Amino acid sequence: MKAEIITIGDEILIGQIVDTNSAWIAARLNEAGFTVVRKLTVGDDRREIADAVEGAMRTADAVIVTGGLGPTKDDITKQTLAGIFGGEMVRDRETYERNGRILAARGIEYNELNREQATVPSSAEVLQNMHGTAPGMWFTRGGKAVVSLPGVPFEMKELMETEVMPRLAAHFRQSKVVHRTAITYGLAESVLAATIAEWEAALPGYLHLAYLPSPSQIRLRLSAYDIEGRREEEEIERRFRVLERLIPDYFIGYGDATVASATADLLRARRATLAVAESCTGGALSASFTAMAGASDYYLGGVVSYSNDVKVGILGVSPDTLRLHGAVSEQTACEMAEGVRRLCGADYALSTTGVAGPTGGTPEKPVGTVWIGLATPHGTRACKSVFARLRTQNIERAAAAAANMLRLELLHRQPTE
Amino acid sequence: MKAEIITIGDEILIGQIVDTNSAWIAARLNEAGFTVVRKLTVGDDRREIADAVEGAMRTADAVIVTGGLGPTKDDITKQTLAGIFGGEMVRDRETYERNGRILAARGIEYNELNREQATVPSSAEVLQNMHGTAPGMWFTRGGKAVVSLPGVPFEMKELMETEVMPRLAAHFRQSKVVHRTAITYGLAESVLAATIAEWEAALPGYLHLAYLPSPSQIRLRLSAYDIEGRREEEEIERRFRVLERLIPDYFIGYGDATVASATADLLRARRATLAVAESCTGGALSASFTAMAGASDYYLGGVVSYSNDVKVGILGVSPDTLRLHGAVSEQTACEMAEGVRRLCGADYALSTTGVAGPTGGTPEKPVGTVWIGLATPHGTRACKSVFARLRTQNIERAAAAAANMLRLELLHRQPTE
């Protein structure tokens, strides 16, 4: 089955935003056995949209359209789809009532613009958007399906998962495809490839391996196409278990696993608690744990000690340490970790102190230098990393490296020790 | 002048990578006065590529093609372009010699695959790639230009800047385009549209307005096309200044401004300092400030008081308050803000305490309930918001709402008070 993705929005064509929706949709469609043959972005222009949708329907079986559904007048997708699939514009009662409640909760009354949000072509089956005011729409013609979704990423994703994927599965008899992704952290792509070369060479021909690198981790995806039973899925499981034993320190988990989630799993399994003291990561390390539901099982709290006064006053870092070694130092990192561990009464504590950039670097401590401290029931230590020049990436990479330092500690120290 | 961007690569169609190249190219083309009318992604398939390029040439004056030039794939794109523009495949001497040096430096000899890299259609003008082995190509026909570039971002960008943009400027007599974006926060799209309806209606016909909503802000973009002098740019400035006065509380700034950056600007202008106490936002509020370079000008530090023990032990929240009112309450939010303000010696302090979800909600305090506290030199207060059901969104929206509470305080209280 062939699919095409159409993204609507002038903001994409002028390069104001990077279109991440279509990559997510493409991955989701591929998992479900669709071959995405094209991705197209057009502006908020009636004729461009109509040409795009009609063109896509000539080759694709399923067409996913995102964007162009807001209440303001630059959004003309609904009228255009009504022009293609026919029917008149009618009010969807369920959307109208839910939008009324959403607006009322925010102290807003219905006006001409937001009332229009609940209007859809009568040729559409409405996909109820529980997280926003623009409904999704499902159209069919000659066995083909065209879906229109709002462009707000989390609304789009929720509608794809709950409404679109089940409808596509029911509408098309799809051949099954299986993908599974393993997450690795800490090995450069070329080193990882060399390390697992034999494992890779021994894979059966019907399993396809892909490397998906990103700044803080490398994902390995195994795929099997046109499968019939459970055999291929089981073989993927078996191969990945061999991989786990091959690179135990670098193997993080499967699917959406991150260094933080793998660390959280180990903390939970050990019934251990965590506290965090952050300087250069400025809250991002704590946020990487608390972004996950159930973080209160193990995460007690943290201190963002951005100024030296806070390092001394709250965390109890010695003024002599700061004077002799500086804020970005092994000693300060250790004292920060010990301070927050004591303060929060946690089993483990992590700390970060470094030069995130773009300014503040010195020849001795260039931008990107980060000390990460780890205080445990068995002692405290710190290690240094030197990342790159970009502030945002340095913060992200330091937070991942800190979580990984604790992950390795938990992995290698048996619970009985 | 119209432009189209074509990205070639199976890896994009299966959702393995997010295409960031095309956003960069789109922004660059817009700056130079091109209107990007479409962006298209196709797979590594000869017919798809040929259809895409020929289709683009029907409407666009300039077509930028990226990708499909690696040593294993170059046959397809180069041969396809040779098929369209004619000519035979010939070796480019300069590329061949440079590639030989690059390979030798890496201890690699020429083989069949990498030798092909230096072969180009004779109908192409070669764009020398100083950073990689795949050359760029410039084709023209009937006044139109088609450019083929490697997909590696820094190779592509370097070739665009040094080779493509100057050639496009020489080839086309370009008209100028101007875009400017204003950021609003705190008004739902439909309410914003109703509030500024008169302002919008009074815009001259040559200025185009677009609404770009996202969960925490709505951007308004004004564009003028085919402009000649500075008149349109000045008119946009003038219209936006009117808008500023129309919605002063909701107007955040221009371009990349966020609620946090606008708040940071006000803190800097007042030479005031900030401390942060976070429960439900778990570090994300501090991170939204420290993500910006120069945060140490005003941000002193923060406490992530996830557990009640940390709220009491570090921030000094009264156990009676927690017992009588609960952690998610006006009283706790106020005591958290006051506690961290005192602890860090800051002028202002923000706090958040709420139910981020997905669990932990009660009928009285459903998931999404967040109290935000603000302690100032003039007193402390807290206000309640009820966001939605998704944890990530609730955290993001609570952090933005907290920064905004301080922004409004700073905006309305004159420095002399």
pLDDT digits (tens, 9 = 90+) for B261-311: 999 999 999 999 999 999 999 999 999 999 999 999 999 999 999 999 999
Partner residue opposite B291 with nearest CB, options A37, A130, A392:
A392
Number of Cβ within a 10 Å radius of residue A111: 15
Q: What is the pLDDT of residue A215?
A: 61
Cα dihedral B45, A215, B394, B218 in deg (nearest 10): -60
Amino acid at B94: E
3-state secondary structure of A243: helix
pLDDT, mean over chain A: 91
- How many CB pairs below 8 Å do chains A and B form together? 294
Alpha-carbon gap, residue A285 to A352, rounded angstroms: 9
Which pLDDT tens digit goes with each residue over A207-238? 988 877 666 788 898 988 777 778 899 999 99
Asked whether the beta carbons of residue A344 and residue B25 sit closer than 8 angstroms, the reply is no
**Are residues B27 and A38, on separate chains, in Cβ contact within 8 Å?**
no
pLDDT tens for each residue of B383-397: 999 998 889 989 999
pLDDT at B152 over 60: yes
Query: How far is C-alpha A346 from the geometric centre of its chain's CA atoms?
Result: 28
Cβ of B210 and A38 within 8 Å?
A: no
Q: How far is CA B93 from the centre of its chain?
A: 41
Work out the widest C-alpha separation in chain A, in whole angstroms.
Answer: 78
Most confidently modeled of A48-52, A113-117, B14-18? A48-52
| Cα–Cα nearest to A18, from B158, B10, B18, B37 | B18
B102-129 average pLDDT score: 85
Q: Are B382 and B373 in contact (CB under 8 A)?
A: yes
Q: Give the confidence band of B229 by pLDDT, cuts at 50, 70, 90.
A: confident
pLDDT band at A193 (very low <50, low <70, confident <90, very high): confident
Average confidence (pLDDT) over B225-230? 77
Sign of the four-CA dihedral B329, B331, B333, B339: negative
Question: Which among B40, B299, B343 has the least Cβ separation from residue A314?
Answer: B343
Average pLDDT on A187-206 reads 88
**What's the rounded Cα separation, in Å, for the pair A54 and A18?**
25
Q: How far apart are CA B292 and CA B299, in angstroms?
A: 11
Q: Hey, what amino acid is at A32?
A: A
Residue B352 in contact with residue B370, Cβ under 8 Å?
Answer: yes
Taking the C-alpha atoms of residue B340 and residue B352, their distance in angstroms, rounded to an integer, is 12
DSSP state of A164: I
pLDDT in tens, A7-48: 998 889 988 888 999 999 998 998 888 889 999 999 989 999
- The rounded distance, in Å, linking the Cα atoms of A263 and A348 is 12
Cβ contact B16–A343 (<8 Å): no
List pLDDT tens digits, range A257-278. Answer: 999 999 999 999 999 999 999 9
Residues 6 or more apart whose Cβ sits within 8 Å of residue A331: A321, A324, A325
Q: What is the DSSP string of A210-225?
A: EEEEETTEEEEEEEEE
Taking an 8 Å cut-off on Cβ atoms, the answer to whether B18 and A18 are in contact is yes
Using a CB-CB distance cutoff of 8 angstroms, which residues of chain B are in contact with residue A285? Answer: 283
- For the stretch B59-73, pLDDT in tens is 999 999 998 886 665
Token pair listed for B69 = 């030039």
Q: Over the stretch A125-175, which tens digit does the pLDDT of each residue have?
A: 999 998 888 999 999 999 999 999 999 898 999 999 999 998 998 898 766
The pLDDT tens digits of the residues spanning A331-383 come to 999 999 999 999 999 999 999 999 999 899 999 999 999 999 999 999 999 99
What are the Cα distances from residue A227, in Å, to A50, A207, A224, A231, B323?
36, 11, 7, 8, 58
Model confidence band, residue B417 (pLDDT cutoffs 50, 70, 90):
very low
Helix (H) or strand (E) holding A244: helix A231-246
3-state SS class at A12: helix
Tell me the three-class secondary structure of chain B, residue by residue. CEEEEEEECHHHHCCCCCCCHHHHHHHHHHHCCCEEEEEEEECCCHHHHHHHHHHHHHHCCEEEEECCCCCCCHHHHHHHHHHHHCCCEEECHHHHHHHHHHHHHCCCCCCHHHHHCCEEECCCEEECCCCCCCCEEEEEECCEEEEEECCCHHHHHHHHHHHHHHHHHHHCCCCEEEEEEEEECCCCHHHHHHHCHHHHHCCCCCCEEEEEEECCEEEEEEEEEEECCCHHHHHHHHHHHHHHHHCCCCEEEECCCCHHHHHHHHHHHCCCCEEEEECCCCCHHHHHHHCCCCHHHCEEEEEEECCHHHHHHCCCCCHHHHHHHCCCCHHHHHHHHHHHHHHHCCCEEEEEEECCCCCCCCCCCCCCEEEEEEEECCEEEEEEEECCCCHHHHHHHHHHHHHHHHHHHHHHCCCCC
Cβ distance of B289 and A295 shorter than 8 Å:
no
Instruction: Name the minimum distance, in Å, from the CA of B34 to any CA of chain A.
Output: 9
Q: In what order do the strands lie in the sheet with B217-227?
A: B208-214, B217-227, B176-184, B251-254
Chain B neighbors of A39, CB-CB under 8 A: 12-13, 40-41
The length of chain B, given as a count of residues? 417
**Is B187 exposed, middle or buried, given 0-12, 13-18 or 19+ CB atoms closer than 10 A?**
buried
pLDDT of residue B72: 60
Peptide bond before residue A358 is cis, with ω within 30 degrees of 0: yes
**CB < 8 Å to B267, chain A:** none
Q: Does residue A62 sit in helix, strand or coil?
A: strand
What is the Cα–Cα distance from A373 to A389, expressed in whole angstroms? 22
> Helix, strand, or coil here: A257?
coil
Tell me which residue in A210, A300, A304 faces B16 most closely, judged by beta carbons: A210
Count of all residues that appear for chain A in the document: 417
CB-based contact A71 B189, cutoff 8 Å = yes
Chain A residues with beta carbon closer than 8 angstroms to that of B283: 276, 278, 283-288, 290, 302, 304
Strand partners, B295: none
At residue B416 the predicted structure's pLDDT band, cuts being 50, 70 and 90, is low
Paired tokens of B202 = 């009074």
pLDDT > 70? residue B369 = yes
Task: State yes or no: pLDDT of B74 exceeds 60.
Answer: no
- CB–CB of A221/A209 below 8 Å? yes
Q: Is B307 in Cβ contact with A301 (below 8 Å)?
A: yes
The number of beta carbons lying within 10 Å of the beta carbon of residue A170 is: 9
Closest CA to B396 of B249, B280, B304: B280
For chain A, which domains are there?
A: 2-171 (3.40.980.10), 177-254 (3.30.70.2860), 259-412 (3.90.950.20)
Å between A111 CA and nearest CA of chain B: 8
Q: Spell out which residues of chain B touch residue A112, defining contact as CB-CB under 8 Å.
A: 194
Residue B37 has pLDDT above 90, yes or no: yes
Say how many C-beta atoms besides its own lie within 10 A of residue B296's C-beta. 15
More confident residue, A65 or A175: A65
CA distance A76 to A42: 12
The verdict on a CB contact (< 8 Å) between A284 and B282 is no
* Cross-chain Cβ contact B211/A74 below 8 Å: yes
**DSSP one-letter code for A202:** T
Average pLDDT value for residue range B362-382: 96
A23·B30 Cβ contact <8 A: no
- The alpha carbon of residue A356 is apart from the nearest alpha carbon of chain B, in Å, by 8
Other C-beta atoms closer than 10 Å to the C-beta of A416 total 4
Chain B interface disruption, residue of A256, A289, A306, most B CBs within 10 A:
A306
Contact A282 B285 (CB under 8 A): no
Enter the tokens of residue A151. Answer: 């462009």
pLDDT higher than 80, residue A409: yes
Nearest to A26 among B13, B25, B212 (CB): B13
Residue in B closest to A346 by C-alpha: B310
Question: What average pLDDT does chain B have?
Answer: 91
Cβ neighbours of residue B129 closer than 8 Å, sequence gap 6 or more: B95, B135, B136, B150, B155, B158, B159
Work out the burial of residue B137: count CB atoms within 10 Å of its CB; fewer than 13 is exposed, 13-18 middle, 19 or more buried.
buried
Contact B55, B39 (CB under 8 A): no
Contacts of B290 in chain A (CB under 8 A): 281-284, 304, 306, 356, 395
Q: What is the ipTM of this complex?
A: 0.78
Chain A residue nearest residue B314, CA to CA: A343
* Torsional sign, CA A260, A222, A247, A401: negative
Among candidates B342, B417, B354, B412, which has minimal Cα distance to B388?
B354
Q: Is the pLDDT of residue B136 over 50?
A: yes
Reply yes or no on whether the pLDDT at A417 is more than 50.
Answer: no
Cβ contact A111–B42 (<8 Å):
no
Q: Do A113 and B296 touch (CB under 8 A)?
A: no
The residue with greater pLDDT, B274 or A387, is B274
Beta strands B369-376 and B348-354 are antiparallel
Q: Which residues of B touch A133 (CB under 8 A)?
A: 190
Tell me which of A287-301, A401-415, B163-177, B228-242 is least confident: B163-177
